[in-house]
Amino acid sequence: MAEEIERKFLVKNTSFVDLAEMAVDIRQAYLSRNPDATVRIRMYGDKAFLTVKGRTHGATRDEWEYPVPVEDAAAMIERLADGIVIDKTRYIVPYAGMRWEVDMFHGAHDGLILAELELETECQSVDMPPFVGDEVTGDPRYYNSHLAGESGKSAPE
């Protein structure tokens, strides 16, 4: 078992695109959106993963992730999705010695852009890049599992 410590922010401009060292398309769906045990299937480029996450406490939660065959992931997304399928492009942006993941959403959430940063501890100091806006860590409206249940909106209200 691993613990995930993550902070999440709204993104206020697209300056991150020029700073990105790579970008990859992601397609994901939730098999369970229960907050105590979310189960996600994700196709990440030419790889796929099944991820189980526990309830978030502050910026921390339990997480287990396992590789699965891409064909199996595609079938699970097609047949078992609980809610809408999320499509997004993830940009990997190095900044001040940290690795930011910036997700630009497409489809039902077109226009939403979120930046995430995984940390060693919840109180770790972070230099904020110029594209980062308001922090939304802990706001369930910005959890991907919640977005999977929100079709036809560009961003949570």
The two tokens of residue 135 are 């922090």
- What single-letter DSSP state applies at residue 93? E
For residue 137, the one-letter residue type is: T
Distance CA 21, CA 18 (A): 8
What does the pLDDT read at residue 151? 64
**Active site members:** 30
Q: Is 109 helix (H, G, I), strand (E, B) or coil?
A: helix
Q: How many domains does the chain have?
A: 1
Residue 156 domain-assigned?
Answer: no
Residue 70 domain-assigned?
Answer: yes
**CATH (domain of 104):** 2.40.320.10
What does the pLDDT read at residue 52? 96
Residue 79 domain-assigned?
Answer: yes
Q: Which domain holds residue 48?
A: 2-147
Structure pTM? 0.89
Distance CA 7, CA 135 (A): 8
Residue 59 domain-assigned?
Answer: yes
47, 40 in Cβ contact below 8 A?
no
Residue 80 domain-assigned?
Answer: yes
Residue 65 domain-assigned?
Answer: yes
Of 58, 65, 75, nearest to 39 (Cα)? 65
97, 28 in Cβ contact below 8 A?
no
What does the pLDDT read at residue 15? 97
pLDDT (tens, 9 = 90+) of the chain, 157 residues, equals 588 889 999 999 999 999 999 999 999 999 999 989 999 999 998 999 999 999 888 888 899 999 999 999 999 999 999 999 999 999 999 999 999 999 999 999 999 999 999 998 888 999 999 999 999 998 989 999 999 997 655 455 5
